[in-house]
Amino acid sequence: MEDPSVEKIAISGPALASMIQRFSTSRGAVDGLIFGHVSLIAPTLSDDDSSSSSSSSTLIATVTSFFCSNSSLSFYTPSGRVDPLLLRRLAQPQPPSSHLLGWFSGRRRTHLRPSLREFAVSNSLISNPNLTFPIQNSPVPIAVDLKPCLFFLFASPISDQTIHTHEYRAYQFRSSAHSFDPKSIDIVNIGPAFRGHYGAFSPNSQLPALPCELRVSPMNVDKGEESLGQLKKGLKAQSELDMCAEGLEVSSLSRLMGSEAVNYTSGVEELYEKMLVKIESLARQVENSSAKIREQEDHNRKLRHKATRTAGL
């Protein structure tokens, strides 16, 4: 029987960023499981053409959460055979609406194409008859259930680059053709238009600990290098910025996902606008200071030239 074809894969920006972060901070290759659901999207008819049929409906896979093992061979053997006991242990617990869609792999300094082992793992995963799940939003019952056929591949560049980048690609493993079918990824970005998607992402892994160093007190600055007026101005500007950032500490970043995300993101966007205004003001001050320094250098050059001519006479 022909496998149902997934048109594209949707994933929220925080989910994809978290997956890349777990891969980039690991000591070596990693793998894990991805969870979510698959929905049937009916086509929108623009005319009264009776030739249109429901067969043109598309399947959209939505990734809502993931599990990262921080290592490789977490639920399969070196030969690529999936261990059902390890897989069941890693895949629980999950909400009733969330199903095992597939898995992902992250490798360093390799080409962005599936390996023979990843082919064997996907083939073993899709061959398990106990891992099927239904399609959501279907107007009529569909006899064909889906299997965990999705595969995400992350890789870092083979050669050294000035800018550190990570590449990723999504596939659907087709058991009928025994091949990986590349799929497009629809990334749900951060912004007012996508606030409804924040509650759909519930990570199994906690957010990574972000280093947060204490600021150096302005009182420790050498008074000979900075005047008292400039110091007071810096203290005032810093206090205003602290008032704007009150309640938006690094430890509160977990509120970007979940039921509180709608209210919290509006505060983050307001803080971002205030920071842009502050940066623009600082840029103008730097521009004015650079102009004064250039003017002073021109004046000093004229004085040195005049002194040289006087000494020559």
Q: Give the domain ranges of the chain.
A: 6-200, 218-299
DSSP-assigned beta bridge partners for residue 174 = 179
Give the tens place of pLDDT for each residue, 117-164: 999 999 999 999 888 888 887 665 555 678 999 999 999 888 776 666
Give the tens place of pLDDT for each residue, 260-290: 666 777 777 777 788 888 888 888 888 889 8
- pTM (2 decimals)? 0.58
Give the tens place of pLDDT for each residue, 170-206: 999 998 888 999 999 988 775 555 555 555 555 555 5
Q: Give, in order, the Cα–Cα distances in Å from 291 to each of 233, 294, 302.
A: 21, 5, 17
**Angstrom distance (rounded) from CA 131 to CA 141:** 19
Q: What is the dihedral of CA 204, 120, 26, 28, to 10 degrees?
A: 160
Question: φ, ψ for residue 162 (rounded to 5)?
Answer: -65, -40
Higher pLDDT, 152 or 45: 152
27 pLDDT band, cuts 50/70/90, is: confident
The token duo for 54 is 């429901």
Q: What is the dihedral of CA 125, 126, 127, 131, to 10 degrees?
A: 80
- Superfamily for the 6-200 domain: Cytidine Deaminase, domain 2 (3.40.140.10)
- Percent with pLDDT over 90 in the chain: 27
Q: Where are the beta strands (DSSP E) in 69-213?
A: 99-107, 150-155, 167-174, 179-188
Q: Give, in order, the Cα–Cα distances in Å from 123 to each of 77, 99, 147, 154, 226.
A: 13, 18, 11, 19, 67
Give the tens place of pLDDT for each residue, 220-263: 444 445 556 666 666 676 676 666 656 556 556 666 666 666 67
- Percent with pLDDT over 70 in the chain: 67
